[in-house]
Amino acid sequence: MNPTLADFGKDVWWIVLIKIVAVFVFLVVMTLFTIWYERRVVARMQVRPGPNRHGPFGLLQSLADGLKLAFKEDIMPLKADRVVFFLAPVISTVCAFTAFAIMPFGPFVSIFGQRTPLQLTDIPVAVLLVLATSGLGIYGIVLSGWASGSTYPLLGGLRSSAQMISYEVAMGLSIVAVFMSAGTMSTSEIVTKQADSNWYAILLLPSFVIYAISAVGETNRAPFDLPEAESELVGGFHTEYSSLKFALFFLAEYINMVTVSGLAVTLFLGGWRMPFLPDWLNQGWWGALWFTIKVLILLFMFVWLRGTLPRLRYDQFMKFGWKVLIPANLVWILVLAGVKTVNAHAPQQRWYWIGGAFALVLLAAIFWPSKKDSPKPTLEQEVAARPAGSFPVPPLDLQVPVSPRAQRITAEREVV
Amino acid sequence: MSLSAYIPIVGLFALAAAFGLFSVAIAPFVGPRRFNRAKLDAYECGIEPTPQPIGGGRFPVKFYLTAMLFIIFDIEIIFLYPWAVSFDMLGLFGFVEMVLFIVAVFVAYTYVWRRGGLDWD
């Protein structure tokens, strides 16, 4: 029996408490594990051992790092806005944790004799909760950049927020196709619907591809890790942060990775169900295992991307989001809606409609006005084309006079 | 369906908030404190920090524009969600309505594109 919306909100209070703590611990452990996992995998890709000293296979490395961070000096720059500087990492962390409340880990299980779904809770607008919290999480980043009172964090925070909101649009649009197919926003019911039909990653492949790309952009991960482009912005928004505050940002980033992976598993990859398995392996606690395995595979993809692709330039990145992902998404939604409508209302004439649409696209492609690049005008032509009285164009071999500051410094040196 | 399904979300929120506040609150007491004037300056690659006006100073107007475009498209998405969820119930009417809506959005989108609103430089 599959959990439905009506099965939630009926737990005893101590079951709810156990589940809350379990989700919290799951996220913290996943973060510690993912940091180690990422370092090991990247190390293997770069033919070096990676962390292997603390514990078996270096598994305790991130725990040791976390403890060490706690005992580091907590520095707050003089120019920082004290209250906001303090609150920004908390906002990031809280939003990251809250988003995971609706992830379905499995079907009904029995905890101390109580029958309950293996999921903290489910609401009619569950997926919207994830989008809302990830939207609020941007506040943590932009406020930390602003409150630092420093140039690099400000630029990093702005970049980060611009990037995240741009890719949030693409992410939000890619999920529309899932809602159209499932007819619900509740995560547990979306998982059930996929068991009836097929994984939505197969049925709605374009949506899944767009979701995967925008998830990488949304979590500020390589190759879209522009807010943390060391050569341009030092550390980005968390440049001024140290000690546990920095650890909180780190935690939030990795939890967000787990969350987008978990959402991808839930919406597109069949949730906690594993295909081709006997029925008894898709019941009870097994679901949590399959869910975790799928999330880890997706996390491996994140690391793989980081180990493979170089970082994009910022204008290319924004162009890709706004000019490719969003229109492609809208067209795909229209196509899907058209196919579904034709299937529902005129299944006999299906092929006429598909042929008609295909012919239309073909005609548009043939008659699309070709873009002719006009030859680039030379400098003289450009200057001649300017209106009279324009600002004079400096010659290419202009000798720039030495600045007064540089002159002063040279003079001071000579005196010494 | 009562509101009781929302309570666990509040619970997780409270636990995360307690954890976060506790962490930032104890950080100054757990770590060492070695005063050094240079540590309190804004970080800037070893040179003198650029003077920052109060309130953050000026930054490119493109960021505002991106935020505005985000609001437009986010509202569009919010309109798409209820339509998508009840797509099977709406039938042909819902399809035609949504085609009209998306075409209208595309007109605005093309306008923004042509005016250079989507170019970063």
Residue B100 within any structural domain of the chain: yes
Please say whether the beta carbons of A219 and A253 come within 8 A.
Answer: yes
Identify the bridge partners of residue A104 per DSSP, sorted by sequence position.
Answer: A119
Whether the CB of A415 is below 8 Å from some CB of chain B: the reply is no
In a domain, residue B29? The reply is: yes
Contact A121 B7 (CB under 8 A): yes
pLDDT (tens place) for every residue of chain A, 416 residues total = 677 777 777 778 888 888 899 999 999 999 999 999 999 999 999 899 888 888 888 888 888 888 888 888 888 888 778 888 888 999 999 999 999 988 888 888 888 888 888 888 888 888 999 988 988 888 988 888 888 877 788 888 888 888 888 888 899 999 999 998 888 888 888 888 888 888 888 888 889 999 999 999 888 887 888 777 777 777 778 888 888 888 998 899 899 999 999 999 999 988 888 888 777 777 878 888 889 999 999 999 989 998 888 888 888 888 888 888 888 888 888 888 888 888 887 777 777 878 888 888 888 888 877 776 677 777 778 777 777 777 776 777 777 788 888 888 888 877 76
Rg of chain A's alpha carbons, rounded to an integer?
27
> Residue B121 in 3-state DSSP?
coil
User: In the predicted model, is pLDDT for residue B77 greater than 60?
Assistant: yes
DSSP letter for each residue of A320-342:
IIIIIIHHHHHHHHHHHHHHHHH
Across the interface, of B9, B20, B81, the residue whose CB is closest to A101 is B9
Secondary structure tally for chain A: helices H, strands E: 16, 2
Which positions in chain A touch B106 (Cβ < 8 Å)? 327, 330
Domain span holding position B96: 3-114
Chain A residue numbers with beta carbons less than 8 Å from the beta carbon of B12 are 20, 23-24, 97-98, 100-101, 120
- pLDDT value at position A362? 87
CA–CA gap between residue A315 and residue A328 (Å, rounded) = 19
Query: Which string of DSSP letters, residue by residue, matches A59-75?
Result: TTHHHHHHHHHHTS---
Question: Which one of A71, A89, A337 has the shortest CB-CB distance to B95?
Answer: A337
Model pLDDT, residue A315: 84
Dihedral sign, Cα of residue A86, residue A92, residue A93, residue A94? positive
Q: Identify the bridge partners of residue A115 per DSSP, sorted by sequence position.
A: A110
Chain-centre distance of CA A391, in angstroms? 45
The two tokens of residue A104 are 């379905």
Q: Which residues of A fall within a CB distance of 8 Å from B20? A: 89-90, 93-94, 248
- Cα of A290 to nearest chain B Cα, Å: 23
Instruction: Answer whether residue B16 is part of any domain.
Output: yes
Amino acid letter, residue B54: I
Give CA–CA dist A312/A166, Å, rounded.
15
Q: What token pair was written down for A195?
A: 């068991």
For residue A408, the tally of other CB atoms under 10 A from its CB is 10
DSSP class of residue A45 equals H
From A254, A220, A217, A251, select the one nearest A235 (Cα to Cα): A220
Tell me the one-letter amino acid at B85.
V
Q: Has residue B102 been placed in a domain?
A: yes
**A322 contacts B69? CB cut-off 8 A:** yes
Among A168-172, B19-23, B42-46, B85-89, the range scoring the smallest mean pLDDT is: B42-46
A309 by DSSP, 3-state: which? coil
Q: Cα separation of A255 and A46, whole Å?
A: 25
**A380 to chain B, closest Cα gap in Å:** 24
A223 cis-preceded (ω within 30 degrees of 0)? yes
Q: Do B40 and A319 touch (CB under 8 A)?
A: no
Q: How many CB atoms lie within 10 A of CB A357?
A: 14
Residue A295's pLDDT is what?
92
Domain boundaries, chain A: 71-346
Residue among A226, A236, A210, A234 at smallest CA distance from A311: A226
Task: Using a CB–CB cutoff of 8 Å, tell me whether A66 touches chain B.
Answer: no
Please indicate, yes or no, if residue B120 is contained in any of the structural domains: no
Number of domains in chain B: 1
Helices (H) and strands (E) in chain B, counts: 3, 0
CA A299 to chain centre: 12
The minimal CB distance from B16 to the residues A73, A94, A326 is found for: A94
Cα nearest neighbour of A68 on chain B: B31
Q: Which two tokens stand for residue A282?
A: 């898709």
Which of B25-34, B47-56, B58-67, B94-103 shows the highest mean pLDDT? B94-103
CB contact at 8 A, A208 and A301: no
Answer whether B16 sits within 8 Å of A183, measured CB to CB: no
Domain at B68, CATH number: 1.20.58.1610
Q: Are A8 and A123 in contact (CB under 8 A)?
A: yes
Domain annotation covers residue B121: no
CB contact under 8 A, A71 and B30: yes
Would you call B12 and A98 a contact, using CB atoms and an 8 Å cutoff?
Answer: yes
Rounded Cα gap, residues A4 and A123, in angstroms: 10
| Phi, psi dihedral angles at A104 (to 5 degrees) | -85, 120
Q: How far is CA B74 from CA A131, A167, A170, B105, B106, in A?
A: 11, 11, 10, 12, 14
Instruction: Tell me whether residues B95 and A74 touch, CB distance under 8 A.
Output: no
